[in-house]
Amino acid sequence: MSQTAKQATDLRLPPERAGRPAPAEVAARREGMTGAVAAGTWRTTPAPEETSLDGVRVLRFRPSGPARGLVLHLHGGGFRLGCPEMIGPYAAALAARCGVEVVCPTYRLAPEHPFPAGLNDAHTVYRALRREGARPLIVSGDSAGGGLAASLTALAAGEGAAPAGLILLSAWLDLTVSAGSYWTNAATDPLFSQESAETAADLYLQGHASSDPLASPLFATLEGFPPTLVSLGEGEVLADDARKFHAALQAAGVAAQLQTVAGMEHVAVTRGLTLTGAAETFERVAGFVDGLTQAG
């Protein structure tokens, strides 16, 4: 049996499970995000189209002309926070710069909806976008959304339907929370920590094995993965996740690029293009997308 066929056999999404209510701190942070959306914090011009793909709410950011491709981007937030609106300025800028459509889904969040609910939603949207036509379809994600993007790619590759490319921005790829960079970079990462990662992983997994390759794609079989861009800030606690995943991709024969930026904070490029390293990262992402969507 080939590695790809074996992966298709091994990677099976478990049944969805009932979750538990969100802690007060998570509920309060979500309420703050809802207020920010209502206040127009991440509003873009033109506004995205709000629609549904097989029951999953999505925002679709379109270029001014015909789209050369599609980018399915999954937002971060530790699997328990976040919304597609917060990615709006980044998605709109990428759509305008590369002439692609960027689709951002509202996937279900933990702890009310533990693993694999969010991944199921991402998979649903991915399959719906594949049915739309032959344009190159790229999967992308930041932080926990990067983990979902890599898990989705593993699932799709096992089905013989890998995307045209994969973009991982400060991705959280190992929910065992055991990487050495949680300690070595603790003082240089103000946005994420070992403690917050352990809390988020517990809310998301709720007893499911953290070593499951669809929860921690660092442990997935990577044969059949498409060209991949892995981007990180050198001082992030997730730096080891990114470097190990890039090395594993290379070992599997995948065309993988690694971008490390000194002084760049966690998911800077999706938080604001004026942040340190964000503009540099955006141009690297744009060049990667151009390479997959421009003919000739």
Q: pLDDT tens across 3-58, in order?
A: 443 444 467 899 999 999 999 999 999 999 999 999 999 999 999 999 999 999 99
In a domain, 13, yes or no: no
pTM for the model stands at 0.96
Q: How far apart are the first and last CA of the chain?
A: 36
Q: Which residue do the tokens 């980018």 mark?
A: 71
The helix/strand/coil state of 142 is strand
Q: Which domain holds residue 200?
A: 3-8+21-293
Q: What is the pLDDT of residue 2?
A: 41
Q: Which candidate in 140, 143, 170, 231 is catalytic?
A: 143
In a domain, 168, yes or no: yes
In a domain, 15, yes or no: no
Element (H, E) at 258: strand 256-261
The CA–CA distances, whole Å, from 221 to 161, 208, 240 equal: 15, 19, 18
In a domain, 16, yes or no: no
Would you mind telling me the total number of residues written for the chain in this entry?
A: 296
In a domain, 14, yes or no: no
Q: What is the pLDDT of residue 10?
A: 63
Structure tokens at 95: 């759509």
pLDDT of 295 strictly over 90: no
Distance (Å, whole) CA 123 – CA 151: 10
Give the model confidence (pLDDT) of 158-173 as tens digits. 999 999 999 999 999 9
Domain count, the chain: 1
Closest CA to 152 of 127, 177, 170, 178: 127
Give the model confidence (pLDDT) of 124-156 as tens digits. 999 999 999 879 999 999 999 999 999 999 999
In a domain, 227, yes or no: yes
Would you call 143 a catalytic residue per the annotation?
A: yes
Q: Which candidate in 151, 170, 216, 236 is catalytic?
A: 236
CATH number at residue 266: 3.40.50.1820
Bridge partner residues of 52 (DSSP): 57
Would you call 236 a catalytic residue per the annotation?
A: yes
Distance (Å, whole) CA 60 – CA 91: 9
